[in-house]
Amino acid sequence: MRIGVWGWSGLVVLIVLALAGRVVCRTEGVVSATDADARTAASPRLSLSAVAKGFKEPVDLQFVPGAPGLAVVLEKRGRARLLQLPAGGGAAAAEPATPGADVLSLDVRSDSELGLLGLAFHPRYRDNGLFYLNDNPRDDKPMRTRISEWHLPLAALGKEPAQLKRVLLEIEQPFANHDGGQVAFGPDGYLYIGMGDGGSRADPHKNAQNLSSLLGKILRIDVNGQPGYAIPSDNPFVGKPGVRPEIWAYGMRNPWRFSFDLKGRMIAADVGQDLFEEVDIVAAGDNQGWALREATHCFPPADSCETAGMVDPIFEYGRDSGNSITGGHVYLSQRLAWLRGKYLFADYVSGRVWALELPAQRNTRAQGEMLGRFPHAFSSFARDEKGEVYALDFAGGLVLGLNG
């Protein structure tokens, strides 16, 4: 996701995000739609409606285990707020809900892509009241990503602020962009962390392919280790000299949102550099190719390049369709039967939303359907306990429900 102010080489579109965070200028015709896209945009198969409003720069939404309809929304500038969604499971509401009480408020760096970026509830949250944050603290220490553990029991939500229990991991950031930001527990109970390559452009420090760096990686840790964290024994690089054992997969540019399908596979969206965005099915030990490749294409562009040992994405799109991918979730609800089992994701810049039929084998390209083009800056997706999927609009401060 690109949520700061900078130029994109080779693009004819400029999106200006004010330092206050609002999208203040979006040039018309950001991307040139194909005829099929134009027809879909004019009569989208999917419609979206605001089920909540009033947030400032929302970047993550997570549903509270054991409390149907109750969620926490993260705002980029450091505020986490409760949200009680109306009944209806994503259907259009007569009156959108508004933010509730604060869960916490942090002093974070919020320039460019920095901020309060990700939250994950512990798998046993109902018993232990623990959750985890990914943020970029503002203090007199070097710019960094912080992964921390917090405590606030379900019964105390909205009544008292969360308490910091411990800092698990800190990773220095050389630049203010490409920070990743996702934290999520996998079906195996371990915490997965999405780390961008550290920023600027074209990975100048070559972090993504460097196995001694945690940047440009998916990390996997056991938060139940004390006093810090433990390394799962089946992490792919455990025991290899000079390699960080936290690394689960590498060669990522800026994974902006990942989730897990019903088979337990990680589905990750990796934001591209100049020409292509991609969706990956990521497995232990994978090399996704950045910065030797951008999606399936040589980077920088060339007739041939090294591809040995690299895993191809299952889906990619070019600048005719968008400029910054936002990963989503598999839709599991019965309410929109035609969407059930499909992976939903969007482009932050163009406002396009797609549904993918995920392949049984990841060496097969996914079949995708562009569902519509919408006037929203999609910053994240979330799925509730019923399998309903929701989207966040960064510019509008909205939580969006799906209809169709």
- The predicted pLDDT at position 90 comes to 67
Residue 6, pLDDT above cutoff 90: no
Distances in Å between the Cα of 279 and the Cα atoms of 184, 252, 306, 316, 333 are 17, 11, 20, 6, 22
> pLDDT-derived band of residue 42, with 50, 70 and 90 as boundaries?
low
Pick the CATH number of 15-403 from 3.90.1150.10, 2.60.40.3470, 3.30.70.20, 2.120.10.30: 2.120.10.30
Ordered by start, the domain boundaries in the chain are 15-403
Residue 285, pLDDT above cutoff 60: yes
**Taking a C-beta distance cutoff of 8 angstroms, is the pair 129, 152 a contact?**
yes
- The predicted pLDDT at position 94 comes to 78
How far apart are alpha carbons 315 and 319 in whole angstroms? 14
What would the pLDDT profile of 122-151 be if each residue is shown by its tens digit? 999 999 999 999 999 999 999 999 999 999
Please state whether 207 falls in left (phi above 0), alpha (psi between -120 and 50) or beta: alpha
Candidate from 2-16, 185-199, 212-226, 364-378 with smallest mean pLDDT: 2-16
**Taking a C-beta distance cutoff of 8 angstroms, is the pair 121, 74 a contact?**
no
- The predicted pLDDT at position 92 comes to 64
- The predicted pLDDT at position 12 comes to 31
Residue 26, pLDDT above cutoff 50: no
How far apart are alpha carbons 264 and 372 in whole angstroms? 28
How far apart are alpha carbons 302 and 62 in whole angstroms? 41
Residue 278, pLDDT above cutoff 90: yes
What would the pLDDT profile of 166-186 be if each residue is shown by its tens digit? 999 999 999 999 999 999 999
Percentage of the residues of the chain whose pLDDT score is greater than 70:
88
What would the pLDDT profile of 394-404 be if each residue is shown by its tens digit? 999 999 999 98
- The predicted pLDDT at position 124 comes to 98
- The predicted pLDDT at position 27 comes to 28
